[in-house]
Amino acid sequence: MKTLVIAIGGNSLITNAQHMSVPDQYAAVVKTVHHIADLLEHRYRIVITHGNGPQVGFILLRSEHSRGILHQVPLDSIVADTQGALGYQIQQALENEFRRRGLKKSVATVVTQTLVNRDDDAFASPAKPIGEFYTREQAEERMRVEKWTMIEDAGRGWRRVVASPIPVRIIESEVIRHLVKDGYVVIAAGGGGIPVVADENGILCGVAAVIDKDLASAVLAKEIGADMLVISTAVEKVCLNFGTPGQRALDSMTVAEARRYMAEGHFKPGSMLPKIEACVQFVTNSGHEALITCPEALPAALDGHTGTRLIP
């Protein structure tokens, strides 16, 4: 039985700006897990990872509005909070889908830490914007009092920026591997995992950073010996010249081709680029294939009828 790590994108949690409430998010999750349950009927073992960008923003905004009344919430704790809340939604939706289908499967959400290198260059040059916009005066106060790093963002105001270090290792990967082997559907590495660093004795400590969930998913997939990394996103296939008259969908590409397309600028940072980078990393390190497609096309894509495969 093959093991899949399926990284679900933001469209599986928030469909648009008009549907961002918790009930709206749950409704989106229900639609996505319906397609994932189809795969379980095909006898796959499955680990689900997910993003958390907007949800982190919501918690930061609540924390800002309660400023002076309640303590500020550290970013690593916010990632942990979103892992629990989103894991709960995905877990409940899956369990309900299993009951409807008569599938005897159990789901476990694992609060997951991701080790990063304390000397990662990203910590010296934080560049990942998070949270809301501030005036210059507010930003100067946050930088003085909270020791935040902040930048002026294209004339729209000032925003906090944090490091986005490269994931090195998933701390709970062995636990996840055992759960999968025992037949559990596992939800893990939410939001790329809680970023932690280790001292010379291996003692862990959380840090103010965010980790790309696709890159973390690639590390997790390699560490648990997954047969395929599957990235579920808003498009059925990866395209070259996306959004232009010369747009061309790809059925497959080799690692070498993917690297050439990245160098030619076909994939946008913050959109398709990190997904391609994660797939290249997994395929290179494992020798297995990766797949990119949309949730509704997952069963057909795994059968080889659609989607874009990255191959060694």
Residues classed as catalytic: 10-11, 128, 213, 275
Query: Cα Rg for the chain, rounded, in angstroms?
Result: 19
Scored b (16 or more CB within 10 A) or e, 223-233 reads bbebebbbbbb
Give yes or no for a contact between 306 and 292, defined as CB atoms under 8 angstroms apart: no
Q: Do the strands 107-109 and 185-187 form a parallel or antiparallel pair, or are they unpaired?
A: parallel
C-alpha 218 chain-centroid distance:
10
Q: C-alpha angle 230/258/14, rounded to 5°?
A: 40
Which tokens belong to 101? 């289908």
Q: How far apart are the first and last CA of the chain?
A: 21
d(CA 212, CA 260): 22
Enter the DSSP assignment of 218: H
Residues 6+ apart with CB under 8 A from 79: 52, 56, 190, 191, 192, 193, 194, 195, 210
Scored b (16 or more CB within 10 A) or e, 61-99 reads eebeeeeeeeeeeebbebbbbbbebbbebbbbbbbebbe
d(CA 275, CA 13): 17
